[in-house]
Amino acid sequence: MRPELRRCRMAEGCMMALRYGMVFFNLLFWLGGCGILGVGVWLSVTQGNFATLSSSLPSLSAANLLIAVGTIIMVIGCLGCVGAVKESRPILLTFFILLLLIFFLEILSIMLFFIYQDEIDEYAQRDLKKGLQLFGTEGNVGLTNAWMIVQTDFRCCGVTNHTDWFEVYNATRVPDSCCLEYSDNCGLDNPGTWWTAPCYERVKDWLNENLVALWIFALCTALTQILGLVFSMTMFCQAVKVETFYA
């Protein structure tokens, strides 16, 4: 067998292995996107009134975030599958560029978060306190429900202190979700019957307690993206070599 023919068959074998690996990888990627999108749509339909705690970013809800992330993952996964099956260099290159761009944006976001962590903390607390003023008002059912759920689940009251609510009501009063034992109008009772832990610190503590799991998730996500970048660029380069050989 001539060396050129042997190299050609080896290249074809590599292309086939890469194609199957790329299709399998992106199929998992696409299915993951479908799952995230499905959860987002389910939350939007069943928990439509559950929005965000932020007053300046009312569209930044869990449902909207999941729908956006799921859609992006589905589109990228679909591009990868089509590019692998058709061995299309433009589609493979588009897939690589989009995935690389997302990877760099994620790294940049993490870096900026750690650099400006104190400023982010201050802004978040100011924005959350501003959002308290909208609690219970018309057209802000989502924000109201969000605060009720957070305070009940985390056994906390207010952003930095239960007294944050005094400015909202202009009285020594808190929402009923701040009560140790929930009952109608219990927020008017003695302060000794309320949760006093700040919700902002409670949520931060919960995140710190689950930091290992969050880092494992982040590393798995990064590894998945790196594998996608390697697969797509290797397949792209192999397609160029095969096309050059036959030319």
User: Under CATH, which architecture does the 117-135+142-246 domain have?
Assistant: Orthogonal Bundle (1.10)
Give residue 56's pLDDT band: very low, low, confident or very high (50, 70, 90).
Answer: low
Which among 114, 67, 103 has a CA at the least distance from the CA of 218? Answer: 103
Indicate yes or no: pTM above 0.85: no
Residue 14: per-residue pLDDT: 65
Residue 47: per-residue pLDDT: 56
Contacts (Cβ under 8 Å, ≥6 apart) of 155: 195, 197, 202
Residue 181: per-residue pLDDT: 87
Give residue 51's pLDDT band: very low, low, confident or very high (50, 70, 90).
Answer: low
Residue-wise pLDDT tens digits, 122-161: 988 988 888 888 888 887 777 888 888 889 999 999 999 9
Percent of the chain whose pLDDT exceeds 90 = 16
Residue-wise pLDDT tens digits, 89-114: 888 889 899 989 989 998 998 899 88
User: Which segment, 4-8, 20-24, 51-55, 174-178, is predicted with the most confidence on average?
Assistant: 174-178
Q: Where are the domains of the chain?
A: 1-86, 117-135+142-246
Distance, CA of 229 to chain centre: 20
Give residue 49's pLDDT band: very low, low, confident or very high (50, 70, 90).
Answer: very low
Residue 97: per-residue pLDDT: 92
Show contacts of 23-27: CB within 8 Å, 24+ apart: 23/81, 23/84, 23/85, 25/80, 25/227, 25/228, 25/231, 26/77, 26/78, 26/79, 26/80, 26/81, 26/84, 26/228, 27/77, 27/81
Residue 33: per-residue pLDDT: 80
Taking residues 25-39, report their average pLDDT.
Answer: 81
Give residue 19's pLDDT band: very low, low, confident or very high (50, 70, 90).
Answer: confident
Average pLDDT, the chain: 81
